[in-house]
């Protein structure tokens, strides 16, 4: 960090945050102490006042703010710990931006790191969780690129208490830190003392293990990033879409890593994505439910369509993940051109015959097909299916099949079938849009002219 630029330091007034501002100040940094009042304790306002007095005693600028944690956790169905953390970081990072700070410094120590690793271990986290907290990171959930830095991760709690004593400073005491109703405090006051009866240096060993895993995670991240780049298709405001074949072809560990990263990007507020959750997602991708969708958490869903795996904030929407018509709509296609299908686009254009054959042989296009121009009867129609309707799918050698069975074979969700668009020529279904063509206008060795039909997904809204 640049000593000439402001560093905002999270400042509760306890031994850790007090040591943090002292050490930064001694190192020549321009420090601003920022105190967040959670309004959870009867003496919270008194703590805010005393924290300000401590900062002024050190000659450090002080700023304070607060939030209604009880109301926030009721509205968002969060634990007290998580609700307090979210409000605190939101205010701290917002304040850091307003102050033009180069970073937000927090007073996490080696003891906090050990507790964090054990919390993640007990929740069944993977290597990301077991590597603990990084000494520098950004938290995009709060809409800022200001980094959070942890200068005290190599200091133990007794060292910060000693530093305060040597400096003639009396840190504030938070009585809630002794309460074992909180998960972290139970780890601190019950589990760690118990583990030390097995090995007196267990904290050092856990810290060392986290450091090793963090180093190895750096190496593995390259592999994970390559898998992500290969599988990622697009991101919208409410969903992230991945290539289904790509996901299925990944090794199990990489498959879960890609799915975990999708959650992290779509819902960064979800912490501790454990093994059970990613295992459920991986199993769903390989063996989807009949509906093609599954609820993961209160607001997170996963959906599998014919060529995509999508994660959603909220219940999946049909019109984004599947081509859909308004009920009863019939779209007339008098000639090649671009036609709107309820936000989707159907692009019909004459194409080169040889290019068409090459593309067909590659087998890579599910939303693009080539049909024999001269076998089509214009005007074409695009409509939904009719009860009991049959078609002659390409490849069945003239045999017909019920449209309902065709949808079942392609794993189309039941709720999407009624308004799924079909391209009709005369009395024949020549394309079940996005799925497959019929025999009636398929290209043959006698074909002289071809039309390319392309289905385009709706325009992406701007991210942000």
What average pLDDT does this structure show over 168-190? 89
Share of the chain above pLDDT 70, in %: 94
As a whole number, mean pLDDT of residues 381-386 equals: 94
Per-residue pLDDT tens over the stretch 229-241: 999 998 877 789 9
Q: Given phi > 0 = left and psi -120 to 50 = alpha, else beta, which region is 323?
A: beta
DSSP classification of residue 101: -
Distance CA 452, CA 441 (A): 12
Residue 279 predicted with pLDDT over 70: yes
| Model confidence pLDDT, tens digit, residues 70-122 | 888 888 778 888 889 889 999 999 999 999 999 999 999 999 999 999 999 99
User: Rounded distance, CA 166 to CA 154, Å?
Assistant: 19
Whole-prediction pTM:
0.65
- Which residue from 389, 391, 399, 349 is spatially nearest to 371, judged by alpha carbons? 349
Mean pLDDT rounded to a whole number for the chain:
89
Helices 252-266, 202-231: inter-axial angle, 10-degree rounding = 90
pLDDT at 139: 81
Residue pair 257/227 in contact by the 8 Å Cβ criterion: yes
Highest mean pLDDT among 134-143, 222-231, 295-304: 222-231
The predicted pLDDT at position 125 comes to: 79
Q: Which helix (H) or strand (E) holds 147?
A: none
Q: Averaged over 296-305, what is the pLDDT?
A: 83
Q: Name beta bridge partners: 370.
A: 452
Lowest mean pLDDT among 201-205, 343-347, 371-375: 343-347
pLDDT at 271: 65
Residue 272 has a pLDDT of 63
Tens of pLDDT, residues 407-416: 988 888 777 8
Q: What is the pLDDT of residues 322-348, one digit of tens each?
A: 788 888 889 999 999 999 877 678 999
- Roughly how many angstroms between the first and final C-alpha of the chain, as a whole number? 28
More confident residue, 455 or 449: 449
- Report the C-alpha gap between 84 and 39 in whole angstroms: 10
pLDDT digits (tens, 9 = 90+) for 46-79: 999 999 999 999 999 999 999 888 888 888 778 8
Using pLDDT thresholds of 50, 70 and 90, give the confidence band for residue 29: very high
Q: What is the DSSP string of 282-319?
A: HHHHHS--TTSEEE-SSSEEEEE-SSEEEEEESSPPHH
Over range 26-48, report the average pLDDT: 93
Residue 319, pLDDT above cutoff 70: no
User: What b/e readout covers 71-84, taking b as 16+ CB neighbours within 10 angstroms?
Assistant: ebbeeeebebebbb
Q: What is the pLDDT of residues 384-399, one digit of tens each?
A: 999 899 999 998 888 9
What's residue 366's pLDDT?
64
- Which residue segments constitute the domains of the chain, with CATH numbers given? 6-205 (3.40.50.620), 236-316 (3.30.465.60), 330-456 (3.50.40.10)
CB atoms within 10 A of CB 439: 20
Residue with tokens 């005007």: 379
Rounded to the nearest 5°, which phi and psi values hold at 243? Answer: -75, 120
What residues pair up with 401 in beta bridges, in sequence order? 391
Q: How far apart are CA 169 and CA 167, in angstroms?
A: 5
Residues in the chain, total: 464
């Amino acid at each position: 960090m640049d000593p000439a630029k402001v560093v905002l330091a999270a400042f509760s007034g306890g031994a850790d945050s007090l040591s943090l501002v002292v050490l930064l100040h001694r190192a020549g940094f321009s420090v601003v102490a920022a105190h967040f009042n959670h309004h959870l304790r009867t003496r919270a306002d008194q703590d805010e006042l005393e924290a300000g007095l401590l900062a002024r005693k050190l000659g450090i600028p002080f700023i304070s703010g607060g939030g209604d944690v009880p109301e926030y956790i009721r509205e968002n169905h969060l634990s007290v710990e998580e609700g307090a953390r979210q409000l605190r970081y939101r205010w701290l990072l917002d304040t850091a931006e307003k102050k033009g700070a180069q970073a937000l410094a927090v007073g996490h120590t080696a003891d906090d790191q050990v507790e964090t690793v054990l919390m993640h271990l007990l929740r069944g986290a993977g290597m990301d969780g077991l590597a603990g907290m990084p000494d520098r990171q950004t938290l995009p959930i709060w809409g800022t690129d200001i980094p959070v830095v942890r200068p005290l991760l190599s200091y133990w709690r007794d060292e910060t208490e000693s530093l305060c004593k040597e400096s003639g400073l009396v840190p504030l005491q938070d009585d809630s830190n002794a309460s074992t109703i909180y998960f972290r405090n139970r780890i601190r006051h019950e589990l760690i003392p118990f583990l030390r009866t097995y090995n007196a240096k267990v904290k050092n060993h856990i810290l060392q293990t986290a450091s090793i895993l963090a180093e190895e995670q750096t190496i593995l991240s390259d592999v994970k990033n390559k898998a992500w780049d290969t599988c990622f298709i697009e991101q919208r405001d409410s969903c992230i879409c991945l290539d289904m074949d790509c996901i299925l072809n990944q090794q199990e560990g990489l498959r879960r890593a890609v799915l975990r990263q999708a959650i992290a990007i779509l819902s960064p507020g979800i912490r501790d994505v454990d093994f059970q959750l990613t295992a459920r997602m991986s199993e769903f991708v390989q063996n989807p439910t009949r509906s093609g969708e599954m609820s993961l958490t209160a607001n997170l869903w996963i959906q599998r369509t014919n060529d995509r795996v999508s994660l959603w904030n909220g219940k999946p929407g049909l019109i984004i993940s599947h081509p859909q018509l308004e009920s009863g709509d019939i779209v007339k296609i008098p000639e090649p051109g671009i036609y709107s299908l309820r936000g989707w686009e159907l692009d019909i254009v004459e194409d080169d015959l040889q290019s068409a054959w090459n593309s067909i042989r590659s087998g890579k296009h599910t939303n693009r097909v080539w049909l024999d121009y001269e076998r089509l009867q214009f005007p074409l129609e695009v409509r939904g299916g009719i009860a009991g309707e049959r078609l002659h799918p390409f490849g069945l050698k003239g045999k017909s099949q019920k449209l309902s069975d065709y949808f079942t074979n392609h794993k189309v969700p039941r709720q999407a079938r009624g308004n799924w668009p079909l391209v009709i020529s005369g009395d024949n279904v020549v394309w079940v849009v996005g799925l497959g063509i019929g025999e009636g206008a398929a290209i043959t060795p006698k074909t002289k002219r071809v039309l390319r039909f392309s289905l385009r997904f709706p325009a992406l809204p701007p991210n942000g």
